[in-house]
Structure 1
Amino acid sequence: MPTMTMKLIFPEKLNHGDIVCVISPSKSIQTIGKGSTGQYTLNKARENINNMGLKVISSTETQEVDIFGCLPLKKRLEEFHSAFSNPSIKCILTAIGGFHANQLIPYLDYELIRNNPKIFCGYSDITLLSAAILKKSGLVTYSGPHYSTFGMNKGLNYTIQEFQKCLFQKDPWTITASGFWSEDEWFLNQEDRIFKQNKPITCIQEGTAEGSIIAGNLTTLHLLQGTEYMPEMNDVILILEDLRSSNEITRTLVSLLYSKDTGNIKGLIFGRSPSSSKLDTRTIKHILEIVQLKNIPIAFGIDIGHTTPHTTIPFGGFGKLICDQNGVKLTIIKH
């Protein structure tokens, strides 16, 4: 296993009766709970998490939000530090993604985080917090569902199963594609859902790799380039997703791969994007012609990011990726 500058810390796994705290480092939980539909989503999220044997508490209950729908920076920092310093809390779930989580990064108490390791999980804008926490404290976090994600009434089984495999169990497991996927605005209409038949994760370039995992939103990770909060990107398996257009995804990926922050990439997996992105295997092959990532396994179609359902992947954990004529096998070894 590759060594990192700072000793890695893996938080304790979840057990029946553990407490989950919901915080809003990006957009406020209030942006979810507006109206009867929003309140239903929050109630359903609590119910689904309770059904896993966990107890949910919310952090700051304040109606004060800024013009972007975020809590004031001071409030966001207070609830972040309060959740990490509370020994009864075993897992921290972000309410939702959005924008402006990067405002917290210079002010986070990384020593507090390192001395009080616990599960921290979210995706999208939360990617940069996972990156900064890994770099500055050594704590492995998780690219996975938000609290709001658990507010779905339908199509949540795969998300729950993967969440439990990663955060309740210590054994390695192999990630396979979900049977069905959706890109509908489920949070606006919980009943008339549109699900599509999923495809297996696709092998684009054959190869085998073992390495540390960096997983999350490409655009958000890109925001950290050149900063002291960018995690080590040498000898890693990159697992990336994005919802923007294939043009924007391509140029951002090229920028990331050409960055001085990025060293030897051992493997690359693209998450499934919304249809509007027009990101497919043909586009990815074109990208490869430009950046010339040769002799490494490359795959497409893992369930992370801005479609549903979601797997849960350790940001800073360790895995093995095999791409060949038999398909794609991603095994999460240490999480």
Structure 2
Amino acid sequence: MTPLLPQALAPGDTIGLISPSSHSTRPERIEQAVSYLEKHGYRVKPSQHLNRISTDPEIADREKLYDLHAMFQNPAVRAVICLRGGAGASRLLGAIDYELIRKNPKIFIGYSDITALSLAILANTGLINFSGPMLATELHDPTPCTEEHFWGMLTSPAYALSIRNCPAHRISVLRSGSAEGPLIGGNLTMLSSMIGTPFLPSLDGALLFLEDVNEASYRIDRMLSQLLNAGQLKGCRAILFGQFSNGGVQQEEEDRLLRIFNYYADRSSNIGPLITGLSYGHIADLMTLPVGAICRAEVKDDGTFALGAMAPVIVQ
């Protein structure tokens, strides 16, 4: 499928806000994020059901789909930012109007549970979208590195040509090398749950990036084994492990997780780089990654890491 590029953001543009996953129990964060976006010169349009709470999944799904479709249908809206992750986004996949999205390409950004929407949109429309900060989790009070990635990726066509890790995170090399391919990934729990569905894009030839949060090492092992057993790791040209934060994790658990990563590194494709430490996950310093963009990754034994798109991922 030919990649579909969204238009870059410019001051004065309208940003739509939706909550296709869980609601936020911190409504003040939504107000702070709106203020943050407005201070940067953007108009903000909350969806009709933003942060609405319904315990009936049928009602919740209907409202979430209405908001998603309304934002893509509205020609004044140039970008759609999700509220937060949580749960529920995967229930929407079979009812999304992908033709509507394909005919109205625009920036779409979120991560965690939003991985389901991100990958389904890519698989069914070819639209390059973005895995990155959300309203109630980062954009209410973003760190400088999160800000740099967010605004750089969404406003400058040249920014994606060189994507730098945040200084707070050190790259550890499991295997050095270089590779080119579509950058695909997101939350490991969500991605593994999409195997066997028409909503997971092909990982053959992909640079796969992964993260997760509050998951014990044995559960991460189980999900990676699901990817391996389903043949999803075999064709990957690179694996970029992000942050697998687990609160006050013990050193023994960290060591176990590293052994797990090495285990799957040995059983994945024998070409291309594998690393841990990507600035991606449920963390303060969060990079914004262009999902579906053709990228090049290069890793040297001394820990030098370079990642960049082969062409702009947005159009001016």
* TM-score, normalisation: structure 2: 0.89
Q: Secondary structure at the match of 1:13?
A: coil
8 Å Cα contact 1:8/1:138 also seen in 2: yes
Tell me the residue number matched to 2:306: 329
CA distance in 1, matches of 2:268, 2:177: 15
- In structure 1, C-alpha distance between the alignment counterparts of 2:147 and 2:186, rounded to whole Å: 19
Indicate the residue corresponding to 1:223 in structure 2.
193
Residue 193 of structure 1 corresponds to: none
Closer/same/farther in 2, CA of residues 245 and 323 from structure 1, 3 Å limit = same
Contact 1:176 1:200 in 2 (8 A): no
The secondary structure found in structure 2 opposite 1:98 is coil
| Matching residue within 186, 203, 207 for 2:173 | 203
Counterparts of 2:260 and 2:276, CA distance in 1: 11
Runs of 4+ with >6 A deviation = 68-71
Instruction: Return the letter of the residue paired with 2:133.
Output: P
Shift in alpha-carbon separation, 1:233–1:264, aligned structure 2, 3 A: same
Deviations 1:69-100 (Å, cap 9, x if unpaired)?
Answer: 99711111111100000000000001011101
CA contact (8 A) 2:177 2:272 kept: yes
Q: Which moved more, 1:68-77 or 1:312-321?
A: 68-77
Matched residue type, 1:226: G
Structure with higher helix content:
2
Partner of 1:143: 131
- Aligned amino acid, residue 25 of structure 1: P
Tell whether the 8 Å contact from 1:165 to 1:173 is kept in structure 2 after alignment. no
- Equivalent in the alignment of 2:270: 294
Could you say what secondary structure the match of 2:165 adopts?
coil
**Residues 203-226 of structure 1, C-alpha deviation per residue, up to 9 Å, x if partnerless?**
221110011010210110111111
CA contact (8 A) 2:237 2:269 kept: no
Deviations 1:114-138 (A, max 9, x none): 0000001000010011111111111
Aligned positions of 1:1-335 closer than 5 A? 6-29=1-24, 31-33=25-27, 39=28, 41-61=29-49, 65-67=53-55, 72-153=60-141, 156-171=143-158, 172-179=160-167, 198-243=168-213, 244-260=215-231, 264-276=235-247, 278-279=253-254, 281-289=258-266, 291-326=267-302, 327-334=304-311, 335=313
Q: 1:321 and 1:70, CA in 2 relative to 1: closer, same or farther beyond 3 A?
A: farther
> 3-state SS of the aligned residue for 2:307?
strand
Letter in 2 for 1:237: L
Q: Structure 1 residue 332: deviation in Å?
A: 2.9
Change (3 A) 1:64 1:122: closer
Mark the CA change 1:199 to 1:246 in structure 2 (over 3 Å): closer, same or farther: same
Q: Normalising by structure 1, report the TM-score.
A: 0.84
When residues 62 and 238 of structure 1 are mapped into structure 2, their CA distance, relative to the original with a 3 A threshold, is closer
Q: 1:331 to 1:70 in 2, by over 3 A?
A: farther
Query: 1:187 aligns to what?
Result: none
> How many aligned positions are there?
303
Could you say if the C-alpha distance between residues 63 and 83 of structure 1 is closer, same or farther in structure 2, counting changes exceeding 3 Å?
closer
Aligned partners of 2:185 and 2:191 also within 8 Å? no
Residues 154-202 of structure 1, C-alpha deviation per residue, up to 9 Å, x if partnerless?
A: x5211110012211111144333323xxxxxxxxxxxxxxxxxx34222
Amino acid corresponding to residue 95 of structure 2 in structure 1: Y
Please state whether the residue corresponding to 2:162 is helix, strand or coil: strand
Closer, same or farther in 2 for the Cα pair 1:248/1:46, shift >3 Å? same
Pair 89,157 (structure 1): closer, same or farther in 2 beyond 3 Å: same
**Counterpart-to-counterpart distance in 2, 1:151 and 1:71:** 28
CA apart distance, 1:263: 5.1
Identity of aligned residues (%): 30
CA offsets, 1:18-66, max 9 Å, x none?
Answer: 111110111125x331xxxxx1x22221122223322211101478522
